[in-house]
Amino acid sequence: MAKWYRPVDRDQPFLFPPDMREWLPGDHPVWLVITVVADHLDTSAFHARRRTGGAGTAGYDPDMLVTVLVWAYAHGVASSREIERLCGTDVAFRVICGGNLPDHVTFARFRGDFPEAVAALFAQVLVLCARLGMGRLGTVALDGMKIAANASKAANRTRDTLARLAGETVAAHGAADAAEDELYGEGRRGDEVPEEAWRPRSRASRIAAALAGLDAERAAAESAEADRVEEYRARREAGQRAGCPPASAAVALAEETLARAIAAQQAKVDDWQARNAASLAATGRPLRGSPPVPADRHCRVAEAEAKLAATRERAAEAQRKAAEKAAAAKGPGPVRNITDPDSRLMPVRGGGFIQGYNTQNMTSEDGLIIATGLTGEQADCPSFEPMLAKGQEAAALIEAHRPSPAPGADGGGQDHDDGIGQVLADAGYCSEANLTCPGPDRLIAVGKGRDLEKAARDPGSDSPGWGGPAIQAMRERLKTPDGITAYRQRGHIAETPHGHIKHNMGLRQLSVRGKRKASAEWEFICAVHNLFKALSTGHLTSQALTALAS
């Protein structure tokens, strides 16, 4: 070795105890994250959960575990085994752990407690960002994003398959019980582990949950259809305009109409005959005038019969088309996943499906996710009102913790200090109900962006289009310069966080199963996004934290 090279001696022990603060520079962001979690966030909900550590040993500090997970998710690491590995090899993770080496089971179990604690953490991060001056609410945008579940599309099964699997499972359990009874004798020995402890997520329970989900969905659809039929009957009996009858009961309703027409005319015939017989008995003379037309020859009965025949023809044609559609269908029909029964097949942009969930995010002008949710619905439209309510609650929280502007200041560019000013949403949320429900002003697209731009350039070029009065009014508003200019902000505000989470953070799939845990993990991801948004924009600095603490 040349004499001017420094020696590389890996066998030399440390002559002084190592100082972790020498491992990373003082301006490394990991120190800020550690300070934020330890000193500026209320993590009592995590401390109230189970003790973290092996039997007979001191538990791991929940603040340390939260910080590890925050740092891991921010860098696209969600696997508990990978987190365990990094805690032993990556300097930043080792600094966070402070000499501890939690194993992957500790992280997995700690993450299992997310549903009880993450909501408070998300709110705490939002409050911190508000105290740092973030959360511009003049214009917010709502958008949905499909994210993959921790389940495979290949694990989907139809109802018939689920019923068969459930039957096979019951038979297998019965055979196993019989064999154990023969081997050990009937009854319990007294030292068995409770079933709910040793088989909390068994395949049999997932099959049962998937089957129950399909049955519940079918029962709900049948109940909704029955309600529509009864509502139609009630309107018709009250003499109101009932409109077209529900297709599923059109033939039955037409038969009821015919039966009522026959009964009404037959009642007239019977009444005339009774009165005629009484007149003959009393006076010997029949009633004057012609008797009523027999029911089978009455005009209203003939009209009802013609309507019934036409309805039966339409029903037969609809059944024929439905059979053709079913024969041409490529998919197996309604399915449920036996790995994560709460997840659903979700269509994605560009074609195709993923097994996943539909996440809903409401984002502020400066990129904070102020409200979030996760659903199993493919469509975005039903989520508008619930997310609007969440957004208003978040806005009130932000306004309550926003620092007061200095005397003579202009508010730091905050153009709306009294809650949400305007909500932007794409055409997936467009409906009369969403446009007219209580809440802040909103711009909801009534079509594709290119069509909106074309209509704004030439307001007289498009036709009135679909929709009721609220949709028509929104269509006209989006043709105005102010309307289309405001709506153009939607893409940047709403879709930037989604792109950051998927592409920059690398989080394209959830790590846990079940809607309850998946919702908590997604809320944690959004909290991490907000925290690092404050870091990347320069709002979260050591000086700012010192000012908050003073």
Domain boundary residue, one of 272, 302, 328: 328
If one counts every other C-beta atom within 10 angstroms of the C-beta of residue 439, the result is: 16
- Judge if 400 and 505 occupy the same domain: yes
- Which pLDDT does position 407 carry in this prediction? 56
Asked whether residue 334 is domain-assigned, the answer is no
Would you say residue 1 has pLDDT above 50? no
Average pLDDT of span 370-378: 94
- Can you say whether the dihedral through the CA atoms of 118, 124, 128, 131 is positive or negative? positive
- Judge if 513 and 374 occupy the same domain: yes
DSSP one-letter string for 160-184: HHHHHHHHHHHHHHHHHHHHHHHHH
Please name the residues in contact with 213: beta carbons below 8 A apart, sequence gap of 6 or more: 336, 341, 342
Asked whether residue 265 is domain-assigned, the answer is yes
Asked whether residue 547 is domain-assigned, the answer is no
- Judge if 146 and 212 occupy the same domain: no
- Which pLDDT does position 191 carry in this prediction? 44
- Judge if 39 and 168 occupy the same domain: no
Asked whether residue 5 is domain-assigned, the answer is no
Q: pLDDT tens digits, residue range 192-224? A: 444 433 344 576 777 777 777 767 777 777 777
Owner of token pair 């590995």: 85
- Judge if 70 and 34 occupy the same domain: yes
- Residue ranges making up the domain that contains 499: 124-151+342-529
Integer Cα distance of 514 and 114 in angstroms = 12
- Judge if 243 and 202 occupy the same domain: yes
Please, what is the average pLDDT of the chain? 83
- Judge if 356 and 312 occupy the same domain: no
Domain boundary residue, one of 56, 82, 112: 112
- Judge if 167 and 98 occupy the same domain: no
Give the SS3 label for residue 359: strand
DSSP one-letter string for 23-57: TS-TT-HHHHHHHIIIIIS--HHHHTS---S-TTS
Integer Cα distance of 540 and 534 in angstroms = 5
DSSP one-letter string for 191-260: -PPPHHHH-TT-HHHHHHHHHHHHHHHHHHHHHHHHHHHHHHHHHHHTT----SPPGGGHHHHHHHHHHH
Contacts 24+ apart (CB under 8 A), 70-76: 70/33, 70/37, 70/527, 70/528, 70/531, 71/30, 71/33, 71/96, 73/505, 73/507, 73/524, 73/525, 73/528, 74/33, 74/505, 74/528, 74/531, 74/532, 75/505, 75/506, 76/505, 76/506, 76/507
Domain boundary residue, one of 296, 328, 360: 328
If one counts every other C-beta atom within 10 angstroms of the C-beta of residue 190, the result is: 5
- Judge if 268 and 385 occupy the same domain: no
Give this prediction's pTM. Answer: 0.76
Integer Cα distance of 242 and 366 in angstroms = 49
Q: pLDDT tens digits, residue range 78-95? A: 999 999 999 999 999 998
Asked whether residue 544 is domain-assigned, the answer is no
Asked whether residue 144 is domain-assigned, the answer is yes
- Judge if 270 and 347 occupy the same domain: no
Q: pLDDT tens digits, residue range 112-167? A: 888 888 999 999 999 999 999 999 999 999 999 999 999 888 888 776 776 776 66
At 400, the pLDDT band (50, 70, 90 cuts) reads: very high
Asked whether residue 401 is domain-assigned, the answer is yes
CB 108 within 8 A of CB 131: no
Spell out the SS3 assignment of 96-141: HHCCCCCCHHHHHHHHHCHHHHHHHHHHHHHHHHHHCCCCCCCEEE
Average pLDDT of span 29-46: 91
Average pLDDT of span 278-302: 85
If one counts every other C-beta atom within 10 angstroms of the C-beta of residue 486, the result is: 17
- Judge if 322 and 346 occupy the same domain: no
Could you tell me which residues are beta bridge partners of residue 59? none
Scanning 292-440, the segments in alpha helix (DSSP H) are 299-328, 384-401, 432-436
- Judge if 469 and 323 occupy the same domain: no
Domains: count for the chain: 3
Q: Where is average pLDDT lowest: 308-322, 341-355, 399-413?
A: 399-413
Asked whether residue 304 is domain-assigned, the answer is yes
Owner of token pair 């752990």: 97
